[in-house]
Amino acid sequence: MTGLENRGLKSRNYSAIVNIMQLINLLPPIKRARGYRLYDYNQRVYLDLYQNGGRAILGHRAFRLTTVMKDVISRGTIFDLPSIYMKRLEQALCRRFPEFPYVYLAGSPDGALSIAALYLGREISSSDICDPFERTKRRGDILKSYPFVKDAQAEEGVSVLMPVIPFAMGGSPAAVCFRHTPPEGFPLSEVISPVILAGALRALHNMKNYRQADWFKEDLLKGKGGWLQRGIYITANFEESLYAEVFKSFLEGGALLNPGYPGPSILPAEASPGELKRMVDLFSKYPG
């Protein structure tokens, strides 16, 4: 988005970014991933409760995703080019969020912030985005939307919706959906690799195949005072100063939490009885 990268952006909270990077790098190098499990080079398995903040909520190696992307790659259309997938992805997002029918696709989160600032006509930063899982944040006119979370009340008064697309590949498009028509001359979506767009489109299509685990219960973590459960999403209900140690304890126990406080972390759509017991035990034991 040439010329817009820094327009209307406030300074970023780099300390929070540094904290997240420090925690995620405690995870050993991962050799492969399948479903909701991560396998390191020492054959240790980690249950993925992070799921890339919802971008991997459909699991790793989701149904037909790699097939679709390989098909686009085989045509040689890898780098950023205009493609049929841009309009298709915009239309798919319009159908999913009909109250926000004007869609802009950015190539990065910063690009999404820049275009939202241009639309609103004021400076913004990531802290201006209302996250439904961060209880201390005030309500505003920009709302982050997570997969399988519908909150009509939270959407009241919101002008800009930023949905998490369940596609975890690097360079995944950042969608910005507007309630009202953008002003005349507003930029078109950024040109993004057809491979990325096709993958994101397939991921949206795959959402209809998502099923919660057989063992899932709305009160799975009832009585676990350090945590709040909202459907499949789990947020920390304790002081931020404790979070790093809790994250490390979960990692030692074979589970990867969201490295950003307070989350959300996400219950996997599949886990063996042993993995389920270990996961619930971790939520029971920590923060203590």
Q: What is the pLDDT of residue 225?
A: 84
**Domain 14-62+211-285 bears CATH identifier 3.10.20.30:** no
Tell me the pLDDT band of 15, cut-offs 50, 70 and 90: confident
Domains 14-62+211-285 and 65-209 equal at CATH topology level? no
* All structural domains of the chain with their residue ranges: 14-62+211-285, 65-209
Q: Is the peptide bond before 262 cis (omega within 30 degrees of 0)?
A: yes
Q: What is the pLDDT of residue 7?
A: 47
pLDDT in tens, 240-262: 999 999 999 999 999 999 999 99
- CATH number assigned to the domain covering 65-209: 3.40.640.10
Q: Which two tokens stand for residue 83?
A: 């493609």
Phi, psi (degrees; rounded to nearest 5) at 212: -70, 155
User: What is the share, in percent, of the chain residues with pLDDT greater than 90?
Assistant: 77
Predicted TM-score (pTM) of the model is: 0.89
Q: Which two tokens stand for residue 285?
A: 């034991």
Section 187-209 average pLDDT: 95
How far, in whole angstroms, is CA 287 from its chain's centroid?
Answer: 25
Section 184-213 average pLDDT: 95
Section 98-107 average pLDDT: 96
Tell me the pLDDT band of 1, cut-offs 50, 70 and 90: very low
